[in-house]
Amino acid sequence: MLKQFDAVVVREQDGAVSYSVEVVTDEQLSPGEVIIKVAYSSINYKDMLAVKANGGVIRNYPMIPGIDLSGTVISSETSDLQAGQKVLVTGFQMGMGHTGGLSEYARVPAEWIVPLPDGLSLRDAMIVGTAGFTAGLSIMALEKMGMNMRNNPNILVTGASGGVGSIAIQLLHKCGYTNIAALSRKSAEEARLKSIGATYIVTPNDIFPDKPKPLVKQKFHYVLDTVGGDVASALIPQIHYGGSMSMCGNAGGIKLDTTVLPFILRGVNVLGVDSVNFPIAERFSIWSRFAGEWHIMDDALVSEIDMGELKQTFEALNNGTHTGRTIVKIS
């Protein structure tokens, strides 16, 4: 049995949801074959929803949130993972239906765990986290549909100041793309976005037409959308013939208001990207890219906090003012 340790615990009473750092024991951890001493976690949009009433993330309370973690195995019931091995976990039911990474220790099913690739530190892994993993999957999806440097395409990244968007811009720049537009409503972020690889900045006023039409001027060959809702709806009619939009987020809403015309007259493709249940067998190769050709962590927009400093980050995410990545140093 583990000694007592600290964890963030979300509780619900009479419809009100609260969270705080509490002293817990391993009896409060969900089942799993592997116990990990957590070094870092990270904060994603879904983590903010987890501590809100009616956030739609946690259904059974109390719960330890945190959909990401990196750390060191201290005990394992499987021969595939050994004590002392450095590992990372993102997605699946972590921090939702299974106690998560905002804890000094986590107990995790072996089939959710990715061994840490050589060249990647535990801190690096959480700078990437679910946000970076999602950005990588989005780029791969667009490249499968023809996006490549030879064509010098116009690429737009929405939600550019956020975790997924900012890492996507860095990855695109690292890959050699030179025509990267960043959609952001935060004018103060223009210099920072350009410093990580954005070629130019697009504002919401630039993409929302005065009078919505089923088809408008073709502006972008590819769109990496992290927002959804009205933003995605406005952009679909602006994609070039044969172009594609990847979609991975819903901070702007879950509904699309569009017509079939962009799809049947311009051959536009919309590509859904899911990082939660992405097959474990394929994850290591993607994380290995972050240890090599996609190693952008040294220049990432990142803040580091501890478990007692979550409130400000959650409020910024809720208000749409959060920028870059926030990682949580656990131990």
Question: Would you write out the chain's pLDDT as a tens digit for each of its 331 residues?
Answer: 678 999 999 999 998 999 999 999 999 999 999 999 999 999 999 999 999 998 999 989 999 999 999 999 999 999 999 999 999 999 999 999 999 999 999 999 999 999 999 999 999 999 999 999 999 999 999 999 999 999 899 999 999 999 999 999 999 999 999 999 999 887 778 899 999 999 999 999 999 988 889 999 999 999 999 999 999 999 999 999 999 999 999 989 999 999 999 999 999 999 999 999 999 999 999 999 999 999 999 988 899 999 999 999 999 999 988 989 999 999 8
Closest CA to 200 of 188, 185, 183: 183
pTM of the model: 0.94
Q: Write down the domain spans for the chain.
A: 5-116+301-329, 131-272
**How many Cβ atoms from other residues are within 10 Å of residue 249's Cβ?**
24
Question: Do 283 and 114 meet the contact criterion of CB atoms below 8 Å apart?
Answer: yes
Written as one string, the DSSP assignment of 269-325 is EEEE---SS--HHHHHHHHHHHHTTT--GGGS-EEEE-GGGHHHHHHHHHHT---SE
Task: Compute the distance between CA of residue 303 and CA of residue 320 in angstroms, rounded to an integer.
Answer: 16
Question: Do 50 and 58 meet the contact criterion of CB atoms below 8 Å apart?
Answer: yes
Q: Residues near 148 by Cβ (< 8 Å), separated by ≥ 6?
A: none
Domain 5-116+301-329 in CATH 3.40.50.1100? The answer is no
The helix/strand count (H/E) of the chain reads as 9, 15
SS3 96: coil
Dihedral sign from CA coordinates of 143, 149, 154, 157: positive
Characterise 13 by phi-psi region: left (phi > 0), alpha (psi -120 to 50), beta (else): beta
Check if 5-116+301-329 and 131-272 are the same fold: no
Q: What CATH number has the domain spanning 131-272?
A: 3.40.50.720
Query: Cis ω on the peptide bond leading into residue 62 (within 30° of 0)?
Result: yes
Q: Which residue has the tokens 């019931």?
A: 77
The reported pLDDT for the residue numbered 1 is 60
Burial class for 235, CB neighbours closer than 10 Å (0-12, 13-18, 19+)? buried
Q: Dihedral of the CA atoms 287, 195, 232, 229 (nearest 10)?
A: 90
The reported pLDDT for the residue numbered 320 is 86
